[in-house]
Amino acid sequence: MMILATLLLAAADPVCAVPAVLNEPWTSWTQSGQAKAGVLAQGAPALILGKPLTATLTPAAQVQFPVAPGKGAKDGYGGLFSLSLKQAARVGIALSGPAWVDVVTGDVSLGSVEHGHGPDCSDIRKIVWFDLPAGRHLVQIAGSKAASVRVMAADAQANQPAH
């Protein structure tokens, strides 16, 4: 019985001898940057495309989300970031841990267009993609069990050859 449990655990979480080589737009994922996520929309720190941050979160019940998160509004930890775009783009929001991600424009939560996991042997736990118009947006993180999470916003077209 112990052997079966060990095999199942190994299959669920592969041991990686070498971290994954990350392709665009995630090549800067391992760079360092730190910020304390905002608790109010006004003054929320900026996410800059292609620049990852290790974010210190706040108990979610203390965050004033402009729109109720899809999940985890009062559970665990959360926070807010601003994201400004000069032009419309498909943007991925990557997180290193389990949490809920919403993007809010004005007073409307925008639906995601795709989601998935990061590459095997990377610490990108999830990537949620949004088609965003130009302008200022808020990225809401909610329901994190950890008080910090690595977060990065990336343009799907970053460093892609022009056609």
Would 112 be classed as within a structural domain? yes
**Tens digit of each residue's pLDDT, the chain (163 residues):** 444 344 444 444 557 776 766 676 666 767 878 999 999 999 999 999 999 999 999 999 999 999 999 876 678 999 999 999 999 999 999 999 999 999 999 889 998 997 887 777 778 889 999 999 999 999 999 999 999 999 999 988 864 444 4
CATH number at residue 123: 2.60.120.380
- Whole-Å CA distances, 92 to 59, 103, 156: 24, 11, 7
User: Phi and psi dihedrals of 4, rounded to 5?
Assistant: -60, -45
Residue 63's domain comprises 30-155
Q: What is the pTM of this model?
A: 0.82
Would 62 be classed as within a structural domain? yes
Would 60 be classed as within a structural domain? yes
